[in-house]
Amino acid sequence: MHDPRVLIDMGDEAVRRLARRGHSLDLSSLESLWAQRNQSIRTADELRAESKRIAQDVQRTAKAGGDISALKDTARKLKEQIREVEAEQEQVQEELTRFLLSIPNLPSDEAPDGDSEEFAVEQRRIGSPPDFPFEPKDHVDLGESMGILDFGRATKLSGPRFSVLRGVGAAVERALVALFLDLHTRRHGYVEHSVPFLVTRKTMTGTGQLPKFEEDLFRTGTADRDLFLIPTAEVPLTNLYAEEIIAPAELPVAMTALTPCFRSEAGSYGRDTRGLIRQHQFSKVEMVRICAAEDSRAEMEKMVGHAEACLKALDLAYRVVTLAAGDTGFSARLTYDIEVWLPSQRTYREISSVSDFGTFQGRRAGIRTRDAGGKTAPAATVNGSGLPIGRTLAALLEQHQQADGSVLLPDSLVKYLGFRRIEADGTPSEA
């Protein structure tokens, strides 16, 4: 969430920057709400001061034996006025908060212009896409022919866009989780957490999923409890520090977690609905870093390297791109997408997003630290996928498939699995 004073001081510059991401900032409405809020505060303060003065007059007059009836009547009227002004102040503050919650983060000047993936700017490519001497299968056909993926029975259980992993498929999923968590905790310095998968509306609001993206969320509840299934571990991990002050010496806070993620994908209109690419439920290892505002850009670069390390460990070809301002997520000011090569589609597809949120989430969630002068200041947050298990499995099957229908696994997984190859019939083999 924004500090309204910053947006008002920026004026037309704030309007220009938000227009780059397709948001039309109504600056006059913001200024009006801010002025109303400030005026109501001043009026309430003046009335309280007058009420205090009258109360003192009542005491003095009473001690002197004078008539206090008129003064008491004035005091009563003042209290009524104070209640009215406080109610007005609360209403204006609620309107201002709703207004501010609807405004996305200001995009970084580093983000290129544009509003879709077509305008993303490639930063680098790592690894060479495999050049098969045969027509490669996509991961759906490959996994189902092996018997390690079962989308039909998943649909029977839950409807479309769910999956069942069987036998070696489930074992590889477990091995990927172990590899990623080991990399992040043993090499990259993250602390692993196990967090709730159901969170409150306030928690969802703290990281920016609410109120704007409610249609993308799965909502549940019981009795008077209103809860949401998390779309990513970013939500509970970041909000662990909501309404807290983190000492500068404790920064950066680096956290990771494996959780299921639940997304309705409202508005996707059938895109990538085949296979493991875009599902309603999927597992993901997430990374979150909380730091001082001036360090968030450097922390973002560090996190990108951590996500890349996962793909390098799996010998997967990928590239890194900077998203255009209009294609950047609501809470982010700058985002790198890491895209893995999918041979069946003959293109790179997003497998991880790493975003610098600046102090946007810190303000919304009340996460603070102290500046050099000891004053409290909003903390910055950085978030990234490290990595989604289903998409990684899809890329692994497709990039490492063999002409005989088997899949040769990278060395990094062998120590977790005890075998090197998934044969065409779905059985493990050390060959």
Helix (H) or strand (E) holding 40: helix 27-63
Residue from 20, 21, 278, 363 carrying the catalytic annotation: 278
- Respond yes or no: is residue 274 known to be catalytic: no
67 Cβ contact list (under 8 Å, min separation 6): 61
278 is catalytic: yes
Q: What share of the chain is helix, strand, coil (3-state, %, to 5)?
A: 45, 20, 35
Contact 425, 146 (CB under 8 A): yes
Rounded CA separation 111/356 (Å):
11
Q: Which of 352, 353, 355, 385 is catalytic?
A: 353
Two tokens at 146?
Answer: 């092996």
The beta strand positions in 129-190, using DSSP E, are 149-150, 164-165
423: left (phi over 0), alpha (psi -120 to 50) or beta: beta
Q: Which of 20, 161, 263, 421 is catalytic?
A: 263
Residue 268 annotated to the active site: no
Residue 232 CA to residue 220 CA, distance in Å, equals 16
Peptide bond into 211 cis (omega under 30): yes
* C-alpha span between 112 and 322 (Å, rounded): 8
Please report, to the nearest 10 degrees, the dihedral formed by the alpha carbons of residues 382, 387, 391, 397 taken in order: 150
Q: Is 350 a catalytic residue?
A: yes
CA angle (395 as vertex; 391, 396 as ends), nearest 5:
115
Q: Which of 17, 20, 21, 391 is catalytic?
A: 391
* Bridging pattern class, strands 253-262 and 191-193: parallel
Residue 263 falls in the annotated catalytic set:
yes
Q: What is the DSSP letter of 314?
A: T
- The total number of residues written for the chain in this structure: 431
Q: Token match 């996190």: residue?
A: 303
Cα 139 from Cα 401, distance rounded (Å):
9
With beta carbons less than 8 A apart as the criterion, state whether 239 and 177 touch.
no
Question: Pick the catalytic residue: 21, 350, 352, 398?
Answer: 350
As annotated, the active-site residues are 263, 278, 350, 353, 391
